[in-house]
Amino acid sequence: MKKYSFLILSVLSIQVMFAQNKLIQNAYSRKGITLNGKWNYLVDVYETGYYNYRWEPYDESENPGSGAFFLNKKPENRMVLIEYDFDAAPTLRVPGDWNSQKEKLFYYEGTLWYKKSFDIPEYQPDKRYYLHFGAVNYRADVYLNGKKLGTHKGGFTPFNFEITHLVKANDNYVVVRVDNKRAADEVPTLNTDWWNYGGITRDVTIYELSQTFIEDYSLQLDKENKTQLNGYLRLNGNEKAHSKVEVSIPELKLKQEFITDADGYVKFQLQEKNIDYWSDKNPKRYRVEFAAGDDTIVDQIGFRQIKTDGADMLLNGEKIFLKGISIHEENVMRGGRAYSMEDAKILLGWAKELGCNFVRLAHYPHNENMVRLADEMGMLVWEEIPVYWTIQWDNPETYKKAAQQLTELVSRDKNRPSVIIWSVANETPRSNDRLNFLTQLVQTTREMDNTRLISAALEDHGKKEDENVMVVEDEFARMVDVLSFNQYYGWYGGDVENIKNIRWEIDLNKPVIISEFGAGALQGFHGDSLTRWSEEFQDLLYRETLPVLARIPQLRGITPWILADFRSPRRMLIPYQEGWNRKGLISETGNRKKAFYTLQRFYKELKIKE
Ligand code: GCB
């Protein structure tokens, strides 16, 4: 029994366990000073700047001494010995992974220190300041002006620290120790099928805030009542209690005032009959203004409902089929992790060209530009956390890490109408520990957000009695709203010529999404359609698979694997792979493979059963 005591952790207790401050909602729209640009870096394979020669962390010592990199020391005169100098060190671009920027760092997994000096030209002593990171992979120890702000783990979610007490108008320096070593008890674990890009991979910004400011809010259409918006707002600061806040949507002529409770929190509802609902066909967003004291924040929010009815998926009450594609967060054309709006435009632009109305952002939270652009384009989104393959299911610490990443993701994207599915895992092996772990994650997700659907990419397999009959035998399938599974018949086992004879037996009356299928092909390599790695093989697999999937009565979406080739250290076959997973429909040079057009045609001709 004891073993599962971690399962009763509430969302709240997860949040207080971490040193960083609560995430500021919609930080993007606030006045920010960017710290993007060139940062000096030191590659620290032996952790020399973090541990002293007795292997004690410098930052835990009262008297760290000059070897501690976070102090960014300079020799006061020519006799002083200091064995590092950030200002003499080379630079890396932030945001950006280090692997794709320096050839020597291509395979590097370990510790690397970053340093950036900065001023705040319009510094105002009566304001508050927050240092915000879009993401750092994987562990970040953050220091400002020689003081530790905290540690964050998790390579794909944002975090922030209040720095009001430490920051000055001039001569500030921020030092970040980044460590991307993989570890068995982390999330993800040691083994993945993607590149472990290290570094400060997303924007770094200092946000200027009022003494009392709007820290968090949510505004969403009620799940049942299409004329009701449910919201909450939370203030941070001395004036947060019993304070007046105002919410308005000028286009709807809605304006209402509310009073916060003693904790600066208020839950509210707005009634409105004339909402133009957000959808893939009508990505209507409203300008929403939240005001409290001298703080105002503006967001662009679309209102929509997503729910299931038996096997149907209903968007604003109408049946919808998810014409999707899976995407990794990589800009293959530039090389490296994607992070910018330009990158998002390429990836979602390709998805649009394919005819998609849905993307699966695999296998971890992608940068915020992706969901913001998806909101604008009317692209529905599946978001996922990297609970992938063989997580330590019986380790309470690992659970906390997964729950933290989920919490940070939901917190970041809860106001984005494009996001309709939270996925808690991918291809995880069945066991009781795993069932408990995932069930608790689902519960945590529902506590935070009961308006979206929950899923996870599960696995199928052939029945013993009849290998042509595929089933998903997984207790966890009962816990999710949408039954999703990956299937690789014809690539990993199964004969591509036999695809036409297979069928799925699914008893659950829930929408089904085939979250992956695919085959590897080297763009430009041609052969007959039974030759592995040829574009023709991949194309055949798509042509055979699509009609067979379409026969699953509950099928309501597919997200084939995958939009573009992506880097993976597991893929070593020369000359076809050379470090790339070749299941992309688009090559790393941006060229479409044959199967791209097959899927495009399928989506174009697809009729939704009414
Ligand atoms: C899967 C995984 C995905 C892999 C893919 C493959 O099932 O979910 O991460 O990249 O198969 O290509 O093998």
Mean pLDDT over 340-361 rounds to 98
- Residue from 327, 382, 389, 486 whose mutation best tests the ligand 1 pocket (most atoms within 8 A of CB): 486
- Residue from 461, 485, 561 whose mutation best tests the ligand 1 pocket (most atoms within 8 A of CB): 561
Nearest alpha carbon to residue 396 among 187, 181, 190: 187
| Residue 413 reports pLDDT greater than 70 | yes
Contact 215, 234 (CB under 8 A): yes
* pLDDT (0 to 100) of residue 19: 53
| Residue 13 reports pLDDT greater than 50 | no
Mean pLDDT over 57-69 rounds to 93
- Reported as a single tens digit per residue, the pLDDT across 75-107 is 999 999 999 999 999 999 999 999 999 999 999
Domain that holds residue 54: 31-209
Are both 45 and 123 inside the same structural domain?
Answer: yes
> Which among 243, 278, 303 is the end of a domain?
303
Which CATH number does the domain housing residue 43 bear?
Answer: 2.60.120.260
Q: Give the tokens for residue 534.
A: 């040829």
Q: Is the dihedral of CA 108, 111, 112, 116 positive or negative?
A: positive
* Measured distance CA(540)–CA(362) in Å, rounded: 24
Nearest alpha carbon to residue 261 among 240, 275, 238: 240
Which CATH number does the domain housing residue 266 bear?
Answer: 2.60.40.10
Are both 134 and 50 inside the same structural domain?
Answer: yes
Q: Is residue 311 part of a domain?
A: no
Q: What angle do CA 187, 416, 567 make, to 5 degrees?
A: 40
Residue 588's DSSP bridge partners are none
Q: Give the tokens for residue 122.
A: 């319009």
Are both 42 and 141 inside the same structural domain?
Answer: yes
Mean pLDDT over 338-354 rounds to 98
Residue 213's DSSP bridge partners are 236
Are both 77 and 196 inside the same structural domain?
Answer: yes
Least confident of 388-402, 470-484, 596-610: 596-610
Are both 110 and 251 inside the same structural domain?
Answer: no
Are both 169 and 88 inside the same structural domain?
Answer: yes
Are both 176 and 85 inside the same structural domain?
Answer: yes
Residue 222: C-alpha distances to residues 225, 258, 259 (Å): 5, 19, 21
Q: How confident is the model at residue 609 (pLDDT cuts 50, 70, 90)?
A: low
Q: Give the tokens for residue 95.
A: 């945001």
366-562-423-483 Cα dihedral, nearest 10 degrees:
170
d(CA 193, ligand 1 centre) in Å: 6
* pLDDT (0 to 100) of residue 17: 38
- Reported as a single tens digit per residue, the pLDDT across 229-255 is 999 999 999 999 999 999 999 999 999
Residues 6+ apart with CB under 8 A from 516: 326, 457, 486, 487, 488, 559, 560, 561, 562
d(CA 583, ligand 1 centre) in Å: 9
| Residue 2 reports pLDDT greater than 50 | no
Mean pLDDT over 314-342 rounds to 96
Atom of ligand 1 nearest to the CA of 515: 8
Higher-confidence residue of 313 and 8: namely: 313
Amino acid at 153: K
**Percentage of residues in the chain having pLDDT higher than 90:** 95
Are both 186 and 86 inside the same structural domain?
Answer: yes
Atom of ligand 1 nearest to the CA of 520: 12
* pLDDT (0 to 100) of residue 501: 98
Q: Is residue 599 part of a domain?
A: no
* pLDDT (0 to 100) of residue 11: 39
Residues 6+ apart with CB under 8 A from 192: 363, 386, 388, 389
d(CA 485, ligand 1 centre) in Å: 12
Q: How confident is the model at residue 18 (pLDDT cuts 50, 70, 90)?
A: very low
* Measured distance CA(355)–CA(592) in Å, rounded: 14
Mean pLDDT over 265-287 rounds to 98
Are both 236 and 132 inside the same structural domain?
Answer: no
Q: Is residue 451 part of a domain?
A: no
- Work out the number of other CB atoms within 10 angstroms of the CB of residue 383: 26
Nearest alpha carbon to residue 425 among 383, 461, 460: 383
* Measured distance CA(156)–CA(134) in Å, rounded: 8
Nearest alpha carbon to residue 178 among 96, 101, 100: 96
Q: Is residue 223 part of a domain?
A: yes
Are both 40 and 116 inside the same structural domain?
Answer: yes
Q: Is residue 225 part of a domain?
A: yes
d(CA 369, ligand 1 centre) in Å: 24
Contact 193, 328 (CB under 8 A): no
d(CA 361, ligand 1 centre) in Å: 13
**Percentage of residues in the chain having pLDDT higher than 70:** 96
Mean pLDDT over 551-575 rounds to 98
- Reported as a single tens digit per residue, the pLDDT across 198-233 is 999 999 999 999 999 999 999 999 999 999 999 999
| Residue 371 reports pLDDT greater than 50 | yes
Are both 65 and 106 inside the same structural domain?
Answer: yes
Are both 244 and 267 inside the same structural domain?
Answer: yes
* pLDDT (0 to 100) of residue 565: 98
Mean pLDDT over 358-378 rounds to 98
- Work out the number of other CB atoms within 10 angstroms of the CB of residue 222: 15
* pLDDT (0 to 100) of residue 65: 85
Q: What's the number of domains the chain is made of?
A: 2
Q: Is residue 295 part of a domain?
A: yes
Nearest alpha carbon to residue 138 among 98, 182, 169: 182
Q: Is residue 60 part of a domain?
A: yes
* pLDDT (0 to 100) of residue 8: 41
Mean pLDDT over 44-58 rounds to 96
One-character DSSP codes across 125-162: TTSEEEEEES--BSEEEEEETTEEEEEEE-TTS-EEEE
For 226-249, letters b (16+ CB in 10 Å) and e give: bebbbbebbbbbebbeebebebbb
| Protein residues with CB under 6 Å of any ligand 1 atom | 193, 363, 426-427, 486, 516, 561, 581, 583
* pLDDT (0 to 100) of residue 366: 98
> Which among 240, 274, 303 is the end of a domain?
303
> Which among 187, 209, 231 is the end of a domain?
209
